[in-house]
Amino acid sequence: MAQTITEKIFSEHVGKEVFAGEIIRSNIDMVIGNDITTPISISAFTLSGAKELANPNGFSIVLDHFIPAKDIASANQARISRDFAKNHKLKNFFDEKDMGIEHALLPEKGLIVPGDVIIGADSHTCTHGALGAFSTGMGSTDLAFAMISGGNWFKVPESIKVNLSGKPGKYTTGKDIILEIIRLIGVDGALYKTLEFTGSTIEHLNMDDRFSMCNMAIEAGAKSGIVAYDDITAEYLADKDLAREPKIHHSDADASYVRVLDINVAELEPVIAYPFLPSNGHSITKAVEDKIKIDQAFIGSCTNGRLGDLKTASEILKGKRVHEDVRLIVTPATQRILKEAYRLGYMDIIIDAGGVVSNPTCGACLGGYMGILGDNEVAVSTTNRNFVGRMGSRTSKVYLANSAVAAISAIAGYITDPR
């Protein structure tokens, strides 16, 4: 019987054919915790009486939300994970010594492998589906169960086939594609389903685009997002010492989908998600007509803090200055990305233009630190959520956009078309 890529990944892990709707117990290849969620998992692990991790090399802790610590509470929170990692001699523990946002750092380290089953106590764990893996967010106690047992229970999700056709225009990116999908189906249009991205457009999308698309699958309610392994995936992984042998899966041509969504990307212009939902998408043309004045432009996060985003921003900012009424904050997703951006001259351009560069952190995206918005302030941001109060004050507003839009808007002082 024909299967989707998601059904095939679970079948390989379970040892028999499984299909959408079945409840299964699957081994997990990588469990991911961070400084916010892991302390709860550690508490549950300890209360269970467990002494050892079931799969130590398949457990990673990445301190990325409030590191370096922003206050006493965050320092104490991080200490719990540090002590646990030290006591268990955890191989995959990352803090200031090797910093990065978890959903950028772990693929960079070769710890995410095609064909994996991955869970993390962070909703944007679905990012890793860009590498042809099943990856999803769960709760902290679900994480603890996986720490103890090495596996967890899943309902195999149904799949929505997103058929993308056409070559994207200049400054139309994976971010715009996923914002358009969310606009079309809504924030619950893919509830507990896999968004499987396919079609002729895929060959035109680099890994940065694919990570962005899978990252925001959760904003449509999806359990996961996934892109099948291809030559672009292989090129990305070529220089990495992978933690496991890849297991390559592709959907059968006659696999069953609950819905097929067709999008002609060649006709898509940059998309702006207005407050207060990622589904409140509008064209850049409308946003320009609306003359949206901004106080802050933010480029970064697990959605758009990669090298390609910094390259795009530097190309637009070269020889220009950030508007006198605007703060431009740039947060590279990992230290490696930061170093490479400096080597290539991107950071010099951004700083010379008036931008400020922060350490790799989730801080600004979740309204924690490194870019909090004040009362009634407006930001254009490359992050993934724009709910009420998401980046600071409950009276602030966040417009989601790609990196090119954020950079050109920082210069103009208004949301502006980069084309």
For residue 295, count other CB atoms closer than 10 A to its CB: 18
How far apart CA 120 and CA 124 sit, in angstroms, is 8
Q: What is the pLDDT of residue 322?
A: 98
Domain ranges of the chain: 10-263, 272-412
SS3 24: strand
Q: What is the pLDDT of residue 108?
A: 96
Q: What is the CA 93 to chain-centroid distance, rounded?
A: 19
Sorted by sequence, the CB contacts under 8 Å of residue 81 that are 6+ apart come out as 33, 35, 38, 39, 42, 61, 63, 93
Q: What is the pLDDT of residue 144?
A: 96
Q: How far is CA 40 from CA 34, 185, 237, in A?
A: 10, 34, 33
Q: What is the pLDDT of residues 35-75, one digit of tens each?
A: 999 999 999 999 999 999 999 999 999 999 999 999 999 99
Q: Report residues of the chain scoring pLDDT below 70.
A: none
Tell me if 393 sits within 8 A of 373, measured CB to CB: yes
Q: Residue 246 is which amino acid?
A: P
Question: Model pTM?
Answer: 0.95
Q: How far is CA 20 from CA 17, 262, 414, in A?
A: 11, 22, 46
Nearest-Å Rg of the Cα atoms of the chain is 20
Q: What is the pLDDT of residue 184?
A: 97
Q: How far is CA 73 from CA 30, 78, 79, 80, 389, in A?
A: 28, 9, 10, 11, 21
Cα four-point dihedral sign 243, 247, 251, 257: negative
Token match 């002729």: residue?
A: 200
What percent helix, strand, coil does the chain show, rounded to 5? 35, 20, 40
How far apart CA 113 and CA 133 sit, in angstroms, is 7
Pick the CATH number of 272-412 from 3.30.499.10, 3.30.360.10, 3.30.465.10, 3.20.20.80: 3.30.499.10
Q: What is the pLDDT of residues 117-174, one digit of tens each?
A: 999 999 999 999 999 999 999 999 999 999 999 999 999 999 999 999 999 999 999 9
How far apart CA 201 and CA 417 sit, in angstroms, is 22
How far apart CA 271 and CA 351 sit, in angstroms, is 27
How far apart CA 203 and CA 242 sit, in angstroms, is 23
How far the first Cα of the chain sits from its last, in Å, is 47
Q: What is the pLDDT of residue 357?
A: 96
Among candidate residues 355, 336, 379, the one with its CA nearest the CA of residue 100? 336
How far apart CA 82 and CA 1 sit, in angstroms, is 47
Sorted by sequence, the CB contacts under 8 Å of residue 89 that are 6+ apart come out as 56
Domain range 10-263, CATH architecture: 2-Layer Sandwich (3.30)
How far apart CA 132 and CA 135 sit, in angstroms, is 9
